[in-house]
A and B are shown apart, each in its own frame.
Chain A
């Protein structure tokens, strides 16, 4: 079965960077893009962008364009999201999800990133 397993919770100081991983199993990693979505406490889901796991092409929401980097390691079937210059408003649960024609049909368990001085 399709499974996405993400790395563990992080606590970061303002101005730092965080890198979250998402290891896929149960399907051919390079055949589906990986989306990144975040959810601040009590807020709606917010799409950050995606990476084509096959060719590495990326698409970002303009809101995060300058601060977020999506990468992947096909040999490890793992996608990564790095967010830089963290601020308190970036405190959220960060999810990866497998693309299914623009929707997201399988999700990781989420990673809580806390930004606090």
Chain B
């Protein structure tokens, strides 16, 4: 089993739709969780950190479920500019924390 798993998609949604991505992680001792956005041939850019209480930034909401070991990202009112690959990242390990990235979920928002 991979340490961090995501549904690769692609997700094809119309503008204005709500879309949700999940990401599961295998190490129950993982402490920090992040969502990154990566455009084609560009670097990953931090979208948001994920906190136990959940957090929201405009149209984006991130949730953490420790019991089931997954994090989620909800995008409301999708825009064309939201089209990208969304990577979840989990900081995990002992004696030196490493950030493990999921394979990414591709999102296409269409007019």
Q: Do A and B come from one complex?
A: no
What residues make up the interface of A, taking CB atoms closer than 8 Å to B?
Answer: none
What residues make up the interface of B, taking CB atoms closer than 8 Å to A?
Answer: none
